[in-house]
Amino acid sequence: MSKPALRYLSLGFLLSAVILLGFSFFNEPAADKGKTSGSQELSKDEQSYKSMYESLLAETEEEKLDKEKTDSAESKDAEQESTKEADKETSSEKEIIKGTVVINKGDPSSTAVKQLVELGIIEQPSDFNDFLEEKNYTSSIRPGSHPVDSKMSFEEIAQSLMKEE
């Protein structure tokens, strides 16, 4: 292509760009007018949907609050019942359980723990084992008959098991 042909081609592109720009610039306000009336209608719809959503949300929140109130009332009743049951159990547990743990020579501390659980002196053997290991009492337990009861603490039970009898 020659230089004059390229110049006319570029001039044609420039002229078409200017015409499109002018057309879009002058026709834009008419398009905006149509859009604004449509957007006002949408905003009315949106407002009605928004008010419906807010009322629905308020209803569900009220239902949740009512449900929480009934649940809390039920849980209070359940707590009172469990407290009554616990009081009954503690009244029966207040009876002191006495027993004797017999350890033979060479028995590990776990035999003493098993006997304490069987007697009902302790409930969780792992807790008492952990206590013995923490205090390094596992190797200090002596063979013999050791009197124990349910009102004794772990320390008192361990001291009883470490006495030679």
> How sure is the predictor about 49, in pLDDT bands with cuts at 50, 70 and 90?
confident
Is the Cα torsion angle 12, 14, 19, 20 positive or negative in sign? positive
Evaluate whether residue 14 is within a structural domain.
no
Structural domain count, the chain: 2
Domain that includes residue 49, residue range: 28-95
Q: Which amino acid is at 114?
A: K
Evaluate whether residue 138 is within a structural domain.
yes
Alpha-helical runs (H) found in the chain: 3-93, 109-119, 125-134, 154-162
Boundary-marking domain end, from 75, 95, 115: 95
Query: Per mean pLDDT, which range of 29-33, 81-85, 142-146, 160-164 is the poorest?
Result: 29-33
> How sure is the predictor about 90, in pLDDT bands with cuts at 50, 70 and 90?
low
Evaluate whether residue 6 is within a structural domain.
no
Q: Which amino acid is at 4?
A: P
Q: Are residues 84 and 102 in the same domain?
A: no
Boundary-marking domain end, from 40, 66, 95: 95
